[in-house]
């Protein structure tokens, strides 16, 4: 197929053909590497792990048998811990049928019962004299050898007997005895003790490894101590003696894996014989599955390469053309003719150009939003100043009509200071300290009109200089108290302006002791603020209030929404506004504004 394409193209190799050839070679390399990887990383470690588990199984069986034999050693030592047993052992007269012999045997059984107790994991305990003749037994079960002469004749060749004073004796199948010399602290031998081991305990210890094969236990003289159930009916395999190492695994002549572990404590060697098919079964399964997986992956990849290489480049060309046409209306865009063999590079360049154009659009949008916010703030700010001037001039005219020339002079001076504050950079933010000073100037103008009927307190603190606000935020709320809060309230009238700083926030509260808000008015005002904030129709709400269409929502002819909106334009979503009726000092209305001190919210 590939050579046919080369022939039809006149010797020129297209990008599609290059891609197909490169991918095919890469696939062959990957498949070969995968096969080597499976053999080195999966199959070989799995075989080593299986062999190691066999060694551990043999060692575990040997440890269990050692524990059981060690228990019999401790049992024999408990029996010999009684000093009476040495006095009861016969020295010359070995007759068991005499009254003295029967009494002695009964006393020996009592000593064994005191040491063993009713619970035991053995078949029986027998005591023999120096000649190896049976004197008495603990239970009297069948199987106790009537004489230990064969064992005593061969015991001198046993290393365990010479070193430890005890050894294992197996006179017949399924009969294993733990034989110990009855010897005092001075090394004098009085007789012998033979503990008959339970075959079930030996089988249980051998089965603890769970190897699933045959188990053999041989002593240092290569004598069988234990053979697993059913193995003696069959011919025992040739078991290699343990070398310098204490454990190992080898393949026997019968084709079985033999794991062995030699105990330094007893000198016994435990062998586990497992058929080769059982040991290598998981390894063969992994190998077969890996080969099937490689073959399936190769066939699938060959089909995938063919169809993918044929159809891969066409969508890229179409996508590149679409990206290049996105901003054709922009006459500054330069369109270059791409090379026919660099489709992927051209796609990357097209995406890069698209990102650059999107970045320019985003910057323009951000600038437009910022300019819109400044324009809205300027428009809302412009609505406040004329209203304040109108109310102040109205108060001056009343004082002039009453002939209070000194008052008119002072009020004109205060008005001049207020106008200077309003018209000097009217759309720039000011500090909270400046806003509080302007509110005090406004209250000073009102003092000449209301005299002692109006009282007010304004918090002052140098820390307020760091709080920024739009101009004329506090004065309209103070004016609202004057015009609407005290219509039916008794004098003196109180206005409090409180400011608190805590945890990176500032809180402004303006309260009076007047008539308070009507509950429906509170719900209506807060609802309009939330609705206007959600819809963005702040100017429409402000215009409606200016026209007198919102009833109780006016503040000196201007709207609450207007003031809150100017704060929102500055603080975004880091501003909290609330209005409620308080119960302190007889009640009244309160306005609460809480905002963040962090400057990056401006």
* Average pLDDT rounded to a whole number, residues 84-95: 74
CA–CA separation, 377 and 383 (whole Å): 10
Q: Which residue has the higher pLDDT, 369 or 48?
A: 48
Question: Concatenated DSSP letters for 67-98?
Answer: HHHHHHHHHHHHHHT-THHHHHS-SS---SSS
Greater model confidence, 246 or 74 = 74
The better pLDDT of the pair 538, 462 is held by 462
If you average pLDDT over residues 66-70, what whole number do you get? 83
Does the structure show a pLDDT above 50 at 8? no
State residue 556's pLDDT score.
37
Average pLDDT over residues 191-219: 77
Element (H, E) at 247: strand 247-251
> Does 244 have pLDDT greater than 80?
no
**C-alpha distance across the termini of the chain, in Å:** 68
Q: Using one digit for the tens of pLDDT, what is the confidence trace for 394-444? A: 878 888 888 888 888 888 888 887 778 777 766 678 899 999 998 888 888
Predicted confidence band of residue 543 (pLDDT cuts 50, 70, 90) = very low
Q: pLDDT digits over 15-58, tens only?
A: 556 666 776 677 677 777 777 777 777 677 777 777 788 788 88
* C-alpha to C-alpha distance for 562 and 568, rounded to whole angstroms: 10
For residue range 176-194, list pLDDT tens digits in order.
888 888 888 888 888 899 9
- pLDDT score of 356 more than 50: yes
Residue 270 has pLDDT above 80, yes or no: yes
Position 9 scores a pLDDT of 45
Average pLDDT, the chain: 75
State how far the alpha carbon of 511 is from the alpha carbons of 495, 576, 580, in Å.
Answer: 6, 17, 10
Averaged over 285-303, what is the pLDDT? 74
Q: How confident is the model at residue 510 (pLDDT cuts 50, 70, 90)?
A: very high
Asked which of 102-106, 115-119, 470-474, 567-571 is least confident by mean pLDDT, the reply is 115-119
The crossing angle, in degrees rounded to 10, of helices 343-401 and 560-571 is 140
What pLDDT shows up at residue 304? 75
Distance (Å, rounded) from C-alpha 568 to C-alpha 537?
13
> Which residue has better confidence, 287 or 556?
287
Name the pLDDT band for 386 (thresholds 50, 70, 90): low
Least confident of 133-142, 322-331, 467-476: 322-331
How far apart, in whole angstroms, are the C-alpha atoms of residue 497 and residue 460? 10
**CA–CA–CA angle 570, 423, 417 (5° rounding):** 115
- Rounded distance, CA 485 to CA 590, Å? 11
What percent of the chain stands above pLDDT 90? 7
Q: What confidence score (pLDDT) does residue 443 get?
A: 87
pLDDT value at 124 more than 80:
yes
pLDDT of 7 > 50? The answer is: no
What would the DSSP string read from start to end of 1-57? -HHHHHHHTTTPPPHHHHHHHHHHHHHHHHHHHHHHHIIIIIIHHHHHHHHHHHHHH
- State yes or no: pLDDT of 242 exceeds 70: no
- Choice between 94 and 566, residue whose per-residue pLDDT is larger: 566
> What size, in residues, is the chain?
602
């Amino acid at each position: 197929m590939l050579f046919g394409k080369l022939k039809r193209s006149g010797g020129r190799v297209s990008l599609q053909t290059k891609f197909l050839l490169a991918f095919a070679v890469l696939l062959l390399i990957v498949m070969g590497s995968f096969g080597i990887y499976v053999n080195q990383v999966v199959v070989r470690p799995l075989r080593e792990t299986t062999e190691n588990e066999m060694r551990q199984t043999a060692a575990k069986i040997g440890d269990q048998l050692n524990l059981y034999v060690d228990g019999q050693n401790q049992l024999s030592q408990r029996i010999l811990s009684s000093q009476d047993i040495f006095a009861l052992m016969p020295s010359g007269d070995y007759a068991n049928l005499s009254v003295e012999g029967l009494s002695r045997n009964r006393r020996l059984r009592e000593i064994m019962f005191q040491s063993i107790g009713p619970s035991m994991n053995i078949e029986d305990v027998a005591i023999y004299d120096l000649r190896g003749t049976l004197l008495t037994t603990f239970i009297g079960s069948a199987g106790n050898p009537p004489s230990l002469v064969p064992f005593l004749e061969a015991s001198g060749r046993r290393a365990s007997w010479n070193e430890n004073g005890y050894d294992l004796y197996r006179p017949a199948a399924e009969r294993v005895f733990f034989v110990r010399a009855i010897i005092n602290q001075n090394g004098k031998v009085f007789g012998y003790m033979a503990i008959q081991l339970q075959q079930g305990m030996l089988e249980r210890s051998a089965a603890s490894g769970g190897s699933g094969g045959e188990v053999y236990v041989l002593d240092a003289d290569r004598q069988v101590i234990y053979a697993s159930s059913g193995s003696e009916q069959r011919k025992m395999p040739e078991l290699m003696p343990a070398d310098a190492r204490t454990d190992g695994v080898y393949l026997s002549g019968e084709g079985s894996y033999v794991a062995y572990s030699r105990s330094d404590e007893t000198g016994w060697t435990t062998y586990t014989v497992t058929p080769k098919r059982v040991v290598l079964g998981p390894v063969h399964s992994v190998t077969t599955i890996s080969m099937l997986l490689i073959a399936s992956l190769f066939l699938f990849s060959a089909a995938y390469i063919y169809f993918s290489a044929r159809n891969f480049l066409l969508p890229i060309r179409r996508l590149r053309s679409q990206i290049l046409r996105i901003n054709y209306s922009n006459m500054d865009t330069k369109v270059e003719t791409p090379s026919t063999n660099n489709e992927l590079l051209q796609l990357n360049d097209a995406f890069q150009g698209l990102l650059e154009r999107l970045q320019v659009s985003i910057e323009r949008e951000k600038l437009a939003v910022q300019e819109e916010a400044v324009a809205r703030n300027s428009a809302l700010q412009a609505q406040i100043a004329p209203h304040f001037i109108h109310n102040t001039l109205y108060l001056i005219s009343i004082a002039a009509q009453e002939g209070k020339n000194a008052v008119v002079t002072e009020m004109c001076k205060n008005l001049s200071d207020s106008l200077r504050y309003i018209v000097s950079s009217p759309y720039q933010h000011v500090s909270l300290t400046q806003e509080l000073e302007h509110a005090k100037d406004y209250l000073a103008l009102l003092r000449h009109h209301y005299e002692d009927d109006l009282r007010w307190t304004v918090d002052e603190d140098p820390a307020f200089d760091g709080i920024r606000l739009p101009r004329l935020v506090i004065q309209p709320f103070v004016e609202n108290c004057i015009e609407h809060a005290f219509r039916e309230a008794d004098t003196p009238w109180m206005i409090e302006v409180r400011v608190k700083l805590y945890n990176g926030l500032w809180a402004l509260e303006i309260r009076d002791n007047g008539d308070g808000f009507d509950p429906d008015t509170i719900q209506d005002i807060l609802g309009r603020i939330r609705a206007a904030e959600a819809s963005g129709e702040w100017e429409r709400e402000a215009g409606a209030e200016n026209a007198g269409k919102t009833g109780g929502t006016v503040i000196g002819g201007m709207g609450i929404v207007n003031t809150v909106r100017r704060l929102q334009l500055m603080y975004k979503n880091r501003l909290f506004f609330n209005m409620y009726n308080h119960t302190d000092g007889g009640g009244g209305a309160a306005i609460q504004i809480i905002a963040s001190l962090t400057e990056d919210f401006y």
